[in-house]
Amino acid sequence: MSSKVVFKTYQQDQLSLLPPSYDDLVPKNHPVRIVNTIIEHIDISALEKSYKGGGTSSYHPRMLLKVVIYAYLRNIYSSRKIEQA
């Protein structure tokens, strides 16, 4: 029996109290926008298939991949340092 894989939802354009949008925080020419565009357009179905179902929902692999790739671009390789950045 296979359990269904459930990811935590995330919306990078989600509105919050302050600032009105995360899009307002990031300059138009910031490298994080390039990472976002590339990761949004690549096929990560093989990565998604590696997740096992059951248990609590996981963070979406696309979001985590964006975080890791951007951290690597900034020469941050330690997960503890990524958390602090």
Position 1 in a domain: no
The answer as to whether 61 is a domain residue is yes
Check residue 79 and give its pLDDT. Answer: 92
For tokens 């300059």, what's the residue?
A: 27
Q: Mean pLDDT for each 10-residue chunk of the chain (85 residues)? A: 75 64 85 95 92 84 95 96 89
Kindly state whether residue 28 falls inside one of the protein's structural domains.
yes
**Would residue 62 count as lying in a domain?**
yes
Domains of the chain: total = 1
* 70 falls within a domain: yes
User: Can you give the residue range of the structural domain that contains 35?
Assistant: 7-84
Q: Does residue 59 form part of some domain? A: yes
CA 16, CA 70: separation in Å to the nearest integer?
A: 23
pLDDT of residue 20: 66
Alpha helices in 1-85 (DSSP H): 22-25, 31-41, 45-49, 61-73, 79-84
Q: Is residue 2 part of a domain?
A: no
Q: Give the residue among 31, 37, 80 at the shortest CA–CA distance from 62.
A: 37
